[in-house]
Structure 1
Amino acid sequence: MTSKDVEATSEAQTGGAAAVDSVTVSDVRAAMDAAYPPALAESWDKVGLVCGDPKDPVEKIALALECTDEVADQAIADGAQMLVVHHPLLLRGVNSVAADTPKGRILHKLIRAGVALFAAHTNADSARPGVNDQLATILGVHPGAPLAPQPAPGLDTWTVKVPREHVDAVAEAMFEAGAGTIGAYDKCAFRLDGQGQFRPLGSAKPFIGTVGEVEKVEEARLEMVAPRAARSAVIEALKDAHPYEEPAFDIVSNEATGLDPEKAVGIGRVGELDTPMPFKDFVARVAERLPTTEWGVRGAGDPDRIIRKVAVASGAGDSFLDIVGKLGVDAFVTSDLRHHPVDETLRAADFCIVDTAHWASEFPWCYQAAIMLREKLGVPTHVIEIRTDPWTVAAS
């Protein structure tokens, strides 16, 4: 899929940007967090909003695998107000973001141009659909169970008391922030009408009632569920939409149980190949379907072995070699592999190995995220197709 495909698909779905309501950096953050929950990120990872004012408007979103100087320049030239990337710019600690440092230079450039920067990294690797689902699908592999399953993030049950005439507005705001989705259904909620009461004290500025007097109001009790990772976004949306100065709401945490392994979140995917083929042909398919790099695609194993079951792990995946060896797969596709781990694996296990460029295995996710944002927010999106793979020359 190319950026033109994304543009065409999104234009057909949204009818163009002219009719889009005002969208903010906060709205984009909420949409990304709902699709790729921050709770799924590895403990060492640094995901989320890197720079930018959550209240700033966003009329166009650019996406790339990582924010280099060239990517930042292109996002600015494209007229984007937000840049969404996979690799965090500030993953490792820094003690300065001065404009004469490499990372500081990029941040100053973006801030001066009014471009917010957001990163979804290992949370996007583990989410469904996420980076690994995109990689598997492109290669013709069914995106089944993850290589490293994570406990499913539980849901919050929300209970909010709202004046009856405002309940629809509050519910809609909570839906937009990620609440109210159960399986294949969205906008799920329960409502019970009743009567609430309160007495505003001296410092209060009540929407309804008089300071010092007990007020009784016809209210609705609104209930719905939301992913725990969306809690902050739902709270913000609820408070913005609720007419009361101090809205009353409860949040009860629930644990997820009994999840289908093929719906489980986690890094990597294991599944059947759509068409069994010799390993040499499968390596050729990987090279054909992933973005081209100087690194290319390498295969280790019997060229004539028939490949039926495949494991994939986008990005650096040599830590999964031992796990893959226990899954009965015919091939494992990942990136950044080293000589000795591959050599030792081939001696001890019975599967073939495909090594791709790190950038190539993850870049296709940008199109997935672009379409998701366009569908969710109705804002034009554009994938910056600059190849940021660091390897620029190859010889054989």
Structure 2
Amino acid sequence: MATMATTGRKLIAQMERLSPPVLAMEKDRIGLQVGDPEAEVKGVLLALDVTEAVVDEAIALGANWIIAHHAVIFRPLGDLRRDRPAGRLFAKLLKHDIQVYVAHTNFDSATGGVNDVLAQKLGLTETDVLIPVHRETYKKLVVTIPKDHHDAVLQAICKAGAGWIGNYSHCTFNLEGTGTFRPEEGTDPYIGEQGQLERVGEVRLETIVPTTIQTRVVSALIKAHPYEEVAYDLYPLDLEGAVQGLGRVGRLDQTLSLSHLANQVKKAYGLSHLRFVGNPDVRVQTVAVLGGAGGRYWPEAKRLGADVYITGDIDHHTAMDAREAGVCLIDPGHHVEYLALESLRQQLSEMNTEKEITIQVSTIETSPFSFV
């Protein structure tokens, strides 16, 4: 049997599940920037930046969706002339019907996103968020289900994201009872007949739902529930979830000299060089890391007890200020964010277990810098 085509909206929903928009910094350019959300997904190319070379790679691979970390539309466009770089780029995207979706600071903050990957590659443990962006809130979902559909509904809402407490999934409470209703004129009841009071063995199911995904969970509930009119309740809870946000602060398994750690960063991130600030012989163990350009956050890294802060695009004055405040810095460059693309590929592939689409990481080097 042929599998149903994956639509752009399905792919976008998957991306928003992995990198919820609520995790993006204010005014960040994220989401679908070029193309049609209804376009069938024939192939996906994951890239840090969208350049003409990346677009050519997508065309050669038959990928009509590019998921990028950096926005292809970041600054206002003054024109779209085809004799200029931006005009050529967008003309090629539109001519070849290639859609561009962007996950930027929301992918930085997301579980399994940029900063988790950078921290994991350094072997950091006991990690916490460096810059809080969002704290999840929860609601309790209560619904009654006829016994013969109980498991189907339970599985559907849990698949949609309900019922997670820490690392435990499918956390629900279920109580059997009797439901009553009388279908009136104009109804098409799953059970019973119009005008007659019905008594049905039902199960009352209670579970927890993150507020940010309640729409998705309720949609899955209604789709799986057999009743024409589904009765359910959502109650706000005082319970708060874990903080999510930019950067990570964690510990190495042993103290190292700053120079030793700098060399470990080079190896872990596959770099030929990097810059660092501080006494090469100073001992460090608590490490903060933030992918991209995070120099302005060094005071927060210091406040959280970091011996060294790893981030890209550190300017001269930031380096001077941090050094005078006793904070060591390591600058591996902005481009190391590309290391998270493989994690994203794996996560998206797990969501497409039927192999409906091919998901690949770009092999194009988009860093603008060369070194001598």
Smaller-chain TM-score bracket = 0.7 to 0.9
* Residues 369 and 346 of structure 1, relative CA distance in 2, 3 Å threshold: same
Tell me which residue corresponds to 1:375.
350
The answer to whether the 8 Å contact 1:30/1:230 transfers is no
Structure 2: distance between partners of 1:55 and 1:214: 44
Q: 1:267 aligns with which of 246, 250, 258?
A: 246
- Tell me the SS of whatever aligns to 1:363: helix
Tell me which residue corresponds to 2:363.
385
The answer to whether the 8 Å contact 2:6/2:40 transfers is yes
* Residues 172 and 19 of structure 1, relative CA distance in 2, 3 Å threshold: farther
Structure 2: distance between partners of 1:123 and 1:283: 27
| Correspondence 1:1-396 to 2 at 5 A | 23-50=6-33, 57-58=40-41, 60-92=43-75, 109-110=92-93, 113=96, 115-142=98-125, 144-193=127-176, 194-197=178-181, 199=183, 202=186, 213=195, 216=198, 218=200, 219-257=202-240, 264-292=243-271, 296-347=273-324, 349-360=325-336, 362-378=337-353, 379=355, 380-391=358-369, 393-395=370-372
The answer to whether the 8 Å contact 2:132/2:244 transfers is yes
The answer to whether the 8 Å contact 2:137/2:210 transfers is yes
* Residues 134 and 235 of structure 1, relative CA distance in 2, 3 Å threshold: same
- Tell me the SS of whatever aligns to 1:276: strand
- Tell me the SS of whatever aligns to 1:152: strand
Structure 1: distance between partners of 2:54 and 2:26: 27
Structure 2: distance between partners of 1:128 and 1:55: 27
Structure 1 residue 153 displacement after superposition: 0.8
Structure 2: distance between partners of 1:307 and 1:299: 13
Structure 1: distance between partners of 2:78 and 2:39: 27
Q: Give the alignment's Cα RMSD to 1 decimal.
A: 3.5
Structure 1 residue 182 displacement after superposition: 1.9
The answer to whether the 8 Å contact 1:76/1:110 transfers is no
Structure 2: distance between partners of 1:364 and 1:200: 60
Structure 1: distance between partners of 2:256 and 2:85: 46
Structure 1 residue 353 displacement after superposition: 0.9
Query: Which stretch has the larger CA shift, 105-114 or 157-166?
Result: 105-114
* Residues 167 and 148 of structure 1, relative CA distance in 2, 3 Å threshold: same
Structure 1: distance between partners of 2:254 and 2:345: 29
1:72 is matched by which residue type in structure 2? Answer: V
2:198 is matched by which residue type in structure 1? Answer: K
Query: Which stretch has the larger CA shift, 98-107 or 125-134?
Result: 98-107
2:231 is matched by which residue type in structure 1? Answer: A
Structure 1 residue 271 displacement after superposition: 1.6
Query: Structure 2-normalised TM-score?
Result: 0.82
Structure 1 residue 341 displacement after superposition: 1.6
The answer to whether the 8 Å contact 2:271/2:332 transfers is no
- Tell me the SS of whatever aligns to 1:365: helix
Structure 2: distance between partners of 1:196 and 1:40: 43
- Greater RCO, CA 8 A, separation 6+: 1
Any idea what the Cα deviations from partners look like across 1:78-104, whole Å, max 9, x if unmatched? 233543222233445669889888667
The answer to whether the 8 Å contact 1:133/1:143 transfers is no
Any idea what the Cα deviations from partners look like across 1:177-217, whole Å, max 9, x if unmatched? 22222222223333444324254565x6666667x746637
The answer to whether the 8 Å contact 2:136/2:243 transfers is no
Structure 1 residue 70 displacement after superposition: 2.4
* Residues 187 and 114 of structure 1, relative CA distance in 2, 3 Å threshold: farther
Structure 1 residue 51 displacement after superposition: 5.0
Any idea what the Cα deviations from partners look like across 1:100-126, whole Å, max 9, x if unmatched? 886676566556655543322222222
The answer to whether the 8 Å contact 1:33/1:229 transfers is no
1:331 is matched by which residue type in structure 2? Answer: V
Q: How many matched pairs? A: 367
Query: Which stretch has the larger CA shift, 160-169 or 375-384?
Result: 160-169
1:344 is matched by which residue type in structure 2? Answer: D
Query: Which stretch has the larger CA shift, 306-315 or 114-123?
Result: 114-123
Q: Extract unaligned runs of 5+ from structure 1.
A: 1-17
Structure 2: distance between partners of 1:99 and 1:253: 53
Any idea what the Cα deviations from partners look like across 1:326-345, whole Å, max 9, x if unmatched? 33332111011111121122
* Residues 92 and 161 of structure 1, relative CA distance in 2, 3 Å threshold: farther
Structure 2: distance between partners of 1:169 and 1:108: 47
* Residues 115 and 170 of structure 1, relative CA distance in 2, 3 Å threshold: farther
Structure 1 residue 54 displacement after superposition: 5.4
Structure 1: distance between partners of 2:302 and 2:207: 43
Structure 2: distance between partners of 1:107 and 1:214: 63
